[in-house]
């Protein structure tokens, strides 16, 4: 709501500037070039003042009244009729006001004999054409402003919808993640109760992150890496000796790189889900590296033991949520590919955090 108010306030200022520039060009600019001997020809300006005021009258009657009350409400015929009456009436006022101005300012307004005897054809062509043009100009400006307002509202609604969808996705991830972790602890209780107790302690640390730190759209990269480390150590407890688990995390401690929470953890979950066998040699290699140019590169490789169709744990809901969140949060600023080769599954996710931050800053500056 605050952002919407700021946008509306900025639009009001922009509209005011457009109107000032428009009338500045129409009222003053031509008279700087009509007389090469003077900087500004005030005599011509005073002589043309009735016409200029007539232009303003037609412009703003349309801008504030006729377009809004008639045209935008589908009353096109009435809009055209009232405009014809307005233009005819204003044109006659403009024509005869020159005589009135001559009487008031005889030194500034030379007498025009032709205007006293008859209405000349050039008057009809010039004034009526000018007033029709002002009506069209008023309509064009009003339509442009209306389109910008509708477009801003559409963008705000799309942003609100995206934020609501992201929150919904995060709400789905938390129970999904917690369910998988509880299943792991349940398996530990049966064959190694001490490890299960340690797992509960580690789980409490993870829940703290989920409950408190995960409420933000973006968290520091180092904070997310700590969460990933805790999760890996929690999973390591239940691994047998035939599973080789290697991790590598490299990032800049001094930089405040921001990342969306729980993006990588679903990929790690997937590795433990499909990469571990109870009786066959298995491996999981996890790497996250932050590069100098702002790219965060995550690579996870594991032995591949796909789940059967009847195994609900292989439903892949976590990966679908990751894909949807990436599309909403990092459009055009990420690449994600997966590969299965020689019974090895590899997923590579690269997020350009610097370009994404620049895009957000540019977007905010335009609002």
Query: Any idea where the domains of the chain sit in the sequence?
Result: 2-153, 192-366
**Closest to 98 (Cα-Cα) out of 48, 26, 28, 134:** 48
Q: Which residues contact residue 44 at a Cβ distance below 8 angstroms, ignoring those fewer than 6 apart?
A: 31, 34, 35
The pair of three-digit structure tokens given for residue 319, joined into one six-digit string: 């990966």
Residue 113 pLDDT grade (very low, low, confident, very high; cuts 50, 70, 90): very low
Q: pLDDT above 70 covers what percent of the chain?
A: 68
225-229, 238-242, 308-312: segment of lowest average pLDDT? 308-312
Residue 21 has pLDDT above 90, yes or no: no
CATH of 192-366, one of 3.30.565.10, 1.10.3720.10, 3.30.300.20, 3.40.640.10: 3.30.565.10
Q: Given this model, what pLDDT does residue 285 score? A: 97
Q: Given this model, what pLDDT does residue 250 score? A: 95
16-20, 38-42, 346-350: segment of lowest average pLDDT? 38-42
Q: Given this model, what pLDDT does residue 79 score? A: 92
For all residues of the chain together, what is the average pLDDT?
Answer: 77
Q: Given this model, what pLDDT does residue 283 score? A: 95
Global pTM exceeds 0.85: no
**Closest to 183 (Cα-Cα) out of 199, 194, 198, 201:** 199
Residue 267 has pLDDT above 80, yes or no: yes
In total, the chain counts a number of residues equal to: 367
| Mean pLDDT calculated for residue range 215-239 | 83
Question: Residue 13: exposed, middle, or buried by beta-carbon count in 10 A (0-12, 13-18, 19+)?
Answer: exposed
**Closest to 7 (Cα-Cα) out of 361, 363, 329, 328:** 363
Residue 22 has pLDDT above 60, yes or no: yes
**Closest to 357 (Cα-Cα) out of 217, 148, 233:** 217
| Mean pLDDT calculated for residue range 174-182 | 67
Estimate to the nearest angstrom the gap between the alpha carbon of 292 and the chain centroid: 27
- pLDDT tens digits, residue range 287-308? 999 999 999 999 999 998 876 6
- Highest mean pLDDT: which range of 197-206, 212-221, 349-358: 349-358
The pair of three-digit structure tokens given for residue 40, joined into one six-digit string: 């500004």
Residue 220 has pLDDT above 50, yes or no: yes
């Amino acid at each position: 709501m605050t952002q919407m108010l700021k946008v509306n306030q900025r639009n009001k200022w922009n509209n005011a500037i457009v109107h000032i520039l428009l009338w500045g060009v129409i009222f003053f600019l031509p008279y700087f070039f009509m007389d090469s001997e003077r900087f500004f020809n005030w005599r011509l300006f005073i002589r043309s003042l009735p016409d200029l005021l007539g232009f303003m009258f037609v412009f703003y009657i349309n801008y504030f009244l006729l377009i809004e009350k008639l045209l935008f409400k589908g009353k096109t015929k009435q809009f055209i009729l009232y405009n014809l009456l307005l233009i005819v009436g204003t044109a006659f006022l403009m024509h005869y006001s020159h005589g009135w101005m001559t009487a008031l300012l005889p030194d500034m307004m030379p007498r025009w004999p032709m205007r006293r005897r008859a209405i000349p054809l050039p008057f009809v062509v010039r004034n009526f054409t000018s007033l029709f043009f002002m009506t069209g100009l008023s309509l064009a400006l009003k339509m442009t402003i209306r389109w910008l307002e509708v477009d801003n509202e559409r963008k705000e609604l799309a942003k609100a919808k995206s934020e609501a969808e992201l929150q919904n996705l995060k709400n789905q991830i938390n129970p999904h993640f917690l369910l998988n972790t509880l299943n792991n602890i349940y398996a530990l209780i049966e064959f190694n109760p001490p490890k299960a107790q340690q797992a509960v302690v580690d789980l409490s640390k993870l829940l703290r992150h989920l409950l408190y730190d995960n409420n933000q759209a973006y968290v520091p990269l180092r904070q997310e890496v700590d969460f990933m480390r805790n999760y890996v150590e929690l999973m390591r407890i239940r691994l047998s000796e035939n599973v080789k688990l290697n991790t590598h995390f490299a990032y800049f401690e001094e930089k405040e790189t921001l990342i969306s929470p729980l993006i990588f953890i679903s990929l790690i979950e997937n590795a433990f889900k499909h990469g571990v066998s109870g009786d066959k040699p298995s491996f999981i290699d996890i790497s996250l590296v932050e590069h100098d140019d702002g790219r965060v590169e995550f690579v996870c490789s594991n032995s591949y033991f796909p789940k059967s169709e009847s195994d609900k744990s292989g439903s892949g809901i976590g990966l679908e949520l990751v894909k949807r969140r990436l599309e909403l949060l990092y459009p055009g600023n990420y690449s994600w590919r997966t590969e299965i080769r020689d019974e090895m599954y590899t997923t590579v996710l690269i997020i350009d955090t610097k370009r994404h931050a620049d895009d957000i800053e540019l977007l905010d500056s335009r609002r």
